[in-house]
Amino acid sequence: MSIIHAALVFVALAIAVPASANEPVFPPGSRVGLAPLKDMAPSKRFTGFENPAKGAAITFIEMPREAYQTLAHDLTAESLKAQGFALKSRETLTIRDAEAVLLSGEQEGLPLRKWMLVAADPSMTAFVVAQAIRMDEAASYTDEEMREALKSVAFRPPLTIEDQIAALPFRLGVLAGFRPVRTMAGNSLLLTEGSQDVIAAAEQPMLIIAKSLDVGPGLDKRDAFARSALASNELVRDLVLERAQGFRQGGADWHEIVARGRHAASGQPVVVMQTIRFAPDSYVRTLGVARAETRDAVLPRFQAVADALTVDAPRP
């Protein structure tokens, strides 16, 4: 999985209100926090703060320590332009005695200004993404205000995996022999089987669970939606679908795809299972990848984890 792709994975979780506007606030299960801007409230959709009236949001994304150099190198004007981001400025800062990179620009085709901060402590990297409506469109936060908020980013000591899981917007009914490795962005969980936490060449099975921010498509568009979601993944290439089907189970609509392909980094033959459970206001997607020769043993376990998931009710 590429660093940038992993960083932009879905995010969804509410956080606590700060006791003081000048003190860093840490979302539940997150090691990253900052002092939020005035009138920014805890988000009910992602790990961070937002002010919908100003189209403003700040999102926290936690990544491994080694991601800092990759992000600092790969977040170029050319790579960001390919994602519709027009870079206006880039600078290197010192935040809490560590080097950081701050980028700002505009989202092409939308009246949005955006900021990206990459900062690290000795054990992890924080990727913080902020946005606000352009000043010529509506009263909003100034560039200086947003920059000061991002510069207040802070880290806290590592949390246990149990604390991280407790902050997710879904619950695991069974583990089926898999081991939780880490949560990502407050709404996603990586599981594996084996001693390695970083799976470089499909040597261990990998299962990713993520709850969406948005409402899923209508019933007649779900098959195309699921196929497109699988095709857009960066873990597996040369995909060949074996089956793709929608069904009803436990009072909910589901869609499941099983496919074979090759691990993008190593070329190793793999089998892939994607399961999406749709709800009226969201959906949960699981994506499992394993070496092709283990399919008969691993696929039923991927399915068992997906079947036993329960989703928390939306926060008021």
Predicted pLDDT at 18: 34
Q: Is 38 in the same domain as 84? A: yes
Q: Give the residue from 129, 155, 181 where a domain finishes.
A: 155
Provide the pLDDT confidence category of residue 3 given band limits of 50, 70 and 90: very low
The CATH number of residue 202's host domain is 3.40.1000.10
- Whether residue 197 sits in one domain with residue 68: no
- DSSP letters for 125-150: EEEEEEEEE-TTTSS---HHHHHHHH
121 and 230 both lie in a single domain: no
> Do 235 and 301 belong to one domain?
yes
Say whether both 204 and 150 belong to one domain: no
Q: Is the pLDDT of residue 240 over 90?
A: yes
- Three-state SS for 252? strand
**pLDDT per residue as tens digits for the range 101-118:** 999 999 888 888 999 999
| Residue at a domain's end among 97, 124, 155 | 155
One domain, residues 174 and 137: no
Examine the pLDDT at 22 and tell me if it is beyond 90.
no
The answer on 214 and 116 residing in a single domain is no
Residues 24 and 42 in one domain: yes
Token pair 């899981």 is at which residue? 165
**Residue of 22 and 280 predicted with greater confidence:** 280
Of the listed ranges 26-35, 159-168, 223-232, 251-260, the least confidently predicted one is 26-35
Exposed / middle / buried, residue 243 (Cβ in 10 Å: 0-12, 13-18, 19+): exposed
Same domain? For 151 and 165 the reply is no
Average pLDDT over residues 300-311: 95
Domain count across the chain: 2
Question: For 133-184, how does the pLDDT look when each residue is reduced to its tens digit (9 = 90+)?
Answer: 876 655 689 999 999 999 999 999 988 899 889 888 899 999 999 999 988 7
Q: Quote the mean pLDDT of the chain.
A: 86
- Phi–psi pair at 101, nearest 5 degrees: -125, 130
220 in any annotated domain: yes
- In this predicted structure, what is the pLDDT of residue 200? 84
Claim: this prediction has a pTM higher than 0.85: no
Dihedral angle over CA of 143, 96, 47, 179, nearest 10:
150
Q: Give the domain extent around 212.
A: 161-311
Q: Which of 138, 155, 172 is the last residue of a domain?
A: 155
Beta strands of the chain (E only): which ranges? 32-33, 41-42, 48-51, 56-64, 85-95, 98-107, 112-121, 124-133, 154-155, 170-171, 179-184, 188-192, 206-211, 236-249, 252-263, 269-278, 283-291, 310-311
